[in-house]
Structure 1
Amino acid sequence: MPSPRTQQTLARLADLTPRQIVAELDRYIVGQGEAKKAVAIALRNRWRRQRAPDAIREEISPNNIILIGPTGVGKTEIARRLAKLAGAPFIKVEASKFTEVGYVGRDVESMVRDLVESAIDMVRTERESEVE
């Protein structure tokens, strides 16, 4: 269960409109207006789905987004800033460094392990700040 602080943050964020989310992303990211709008709408819909009554939540299917584009256009930064805004863990993974199990290189399971470690670190930091 999320801490009271996390619940307050999520409640505040859930009231943001897609336009306000884009404005927050605009503080850090130049250009990519369509991408920022798409992720802002997706994030807002995710928050709305989480707050929906259980009876209708299953009827609202979540949407995923794949950001595609050349190197250096801001895909990673959009995802990083959106994760920070949402209070979610974020890791950057270079897919070309991953191999099938049994081959030299990192296996795909380590990607999940890295994400879990990131989430644990995030919760630990949050809990420590609550104690201070």
Structure 2
Amino acid sequence: MNLTHCPCGRAKGKSQALSFEACCAPHHISRNAPDAESLMRSRYTAFVLGDAPYLLATWHSSQRPASLVLETGTKWLGLEIKQHRSTGEHTAEVEFVARFRTGGKAVRQHERSRFVREDGRWYYVDGDVL
């Protein structure tokens, strides 16, 4: 896939948006991200692209659903990372706001998500809607 700008919105500097290939694509290929924020961004991108297998592969086994059906017709509008912080040697939290439209309604999802690193891989565990 050749996206001019990565859906996650990561930029080099203040104005140069990264392409999907330079940003989230390597994480989608390896099923691994270097830190919790990068995993959060790549999971947002997976929602944009409709990549349910990636979402399941990066969901911690303690919370992972057996299957995942993504809602069709959702238009993803943007991701803002509010905060990323380490909460332990192998744990982190990412606070974000994701905006999207579904069923003709605008939705703003503000969440604090928890992540854990096991065997060198980061996984999404769960989150609290704020």
* Shared fold, TM over 0.5: no
Q: Which has the higher helix share?
A: 1
Q: Which has the higher strand share?
A: 2
Give the TM-score taking structure 1 as reference length: 0.32
Give the TM-score taking structure 2 as reference length: 0.32
Structure ID, larger Rg: 1
